[in-house]
Amino acid sequence: MLPSRSAPSTLHLALVLGTLTAFGPLSIDLYLPGLPGIARDLQASDALIQSTLATFVAGMALGQLIHGPLSDRLGRRLPLLIGSIIYTLASAACAMAPDATTLVVLRFVQALGGSAGVVVSRSVVRDLFGARESARMFSILMLVTGLAPITAPLIGGQILEVADWRALFWVLTGFGVVTMVLVLGMLPETLPDERRIVRAPLDVLRGYGEIARDRQFVGMALTGAGAFAAMFAYISASPFVFIELYGVTPSSYGWIFGGNALGLVLAAQLNRHLLRRSRPEAILRAGLGLSAVAALVFLGVLWLRPGDLPPLLPPLFVVVAMVGIAGPNTTAIALGAYATRAGSASALLGTLQFVVGAIAAALVGVLADGTGRPMGLVMAGAAAFALLCFLVTARPAPPAAT
């Protein structure tokens, strides 16, 4: 139950938290159709412009390690407001970046601010709900958050029809302002003073070490990270693969990307209904297995039928959709034992996901050979990694002490 008389309804809470978790997907997906154009305008290589995604993901990972413990100490609202301000200012600076190197650095700063929304929103859910209820709430958030990857590439493609890529970052600047208004006006403080934890920096590091020794936490975190890594490999390479190799227009790319994101949203809502009669672990096992098979099919089509777009789309749809199964369940199970350290546990969870995602995105760039095969290889490897982590390490274990 929300600890405030003026607490919003579940619908309003999902709207606010979904908007906060959209910092990541919106900041990535909106500018994807513009990546080839950014490379041309700033006279930079495709690999350097792709690194703006890798550095953004790295900033999201590091920022969560900072904002998570801060939210356990200062409450949830203040870190959210600070992060939103940093994000808004960095977005405006990105819109005025004079060269590619500056843009890479500013994307890192932008992510440091936006990471507050991602990590603290998970902590708010853990403040208010138990394990199974949290999984359902995360599925609802996936619906709200899923609107970003559905609509953002479409909006980005349409903006690029009438303006250049800098307009995309002005839109993100406006989004930062909106999040500040929502936090101030609609989100109550969910961590009362008596539950806040004051720790010295060394104690924070020791706390991370304790959480990292929890076998179930690490297993679930890496399982979710593998699923997200497959999606990050797709996100980082698909603009160049589809637009430059397959000749898809930026607006058509937006439709393809949005269709895959719709699959993620639908899978998350299916997960919410399945949780009424099945354990999260059972749902995860099926979803991860299906994702691994689809990723192998996707790689096979890339290898055996290069240049043939239609056969690629169904297995790609399945791989992305299964993130809607993996994300809510791995998050709920991993955070289930950490009522008093939800911020730190959420930060470590998110950091592992984004670090593995950044590695996947960078690996696609390293392996780039002018075809879509590197994207398929990394996606298949990540999907197999997720399934393996679940089967080997994510076995039932005693709850960690909090």
List the structure tokens of 257: 């990307």
- Spell out the domain ranges in the chain: 10-191+201-393
Question: In this structure, what is the dihedral angle of CA atoms 280, 210, 24, 377, given to the nearest 10 degrees?
Answer: -70
Q: How far apart are CA 272 and CA 278, in angstroms?
A: 10
Among 331, 283, 336, smallest CA distance to 130 is for 336
List the structure tokens of 27: 């900041």
Residue 43 has pLDDT above 50, yes or no: yes
Q: How far apart are CA 168 and CA 94, in angstroms?
A: 10
Residue 402 has pLDDT above 60, yes or no: no
pLDDT of residue 397: 46
Residue 226 has pLDDT above 50, yes or no: yes
pTM of the prediction?
0.72
State whether residue 40 is helix, strand or coil.
helix
Residues 300-316, mean pLDDT to the nearest whole number = 90
pLDDT of residue 24: 84
DSSP letters, 106-152, are HHHHHHHHHHHHHHHHHHHHHHH--HHHHHHHHHHHHHHHHHHHHHH
List the structure tokens of 199: 């720790």
List the structure tokens of 302: 């890339």
What digits encode the pLDDT tens for the residues 324-376?
899 888 888 887 767 666 677 877 888 888 788 888 888 888 888 888 899 99
Percent of the chain with pLDDT over 70: 91
Q: Which residue has the higher pLDDT, 154 or 381?
A: 381
Residue 312 has pLDDT above 60, yes or no: yes
Average predicted confidence (pLDDT) for the chain: 85
What digits encode the pLDDT tens for the residues 237-253?
888 888 888 888 877 88
Q: Which CATH superfamily is domain 10-191+201-393 in?
A: MFS general substrate transporter like domains (1.20.1250.20)
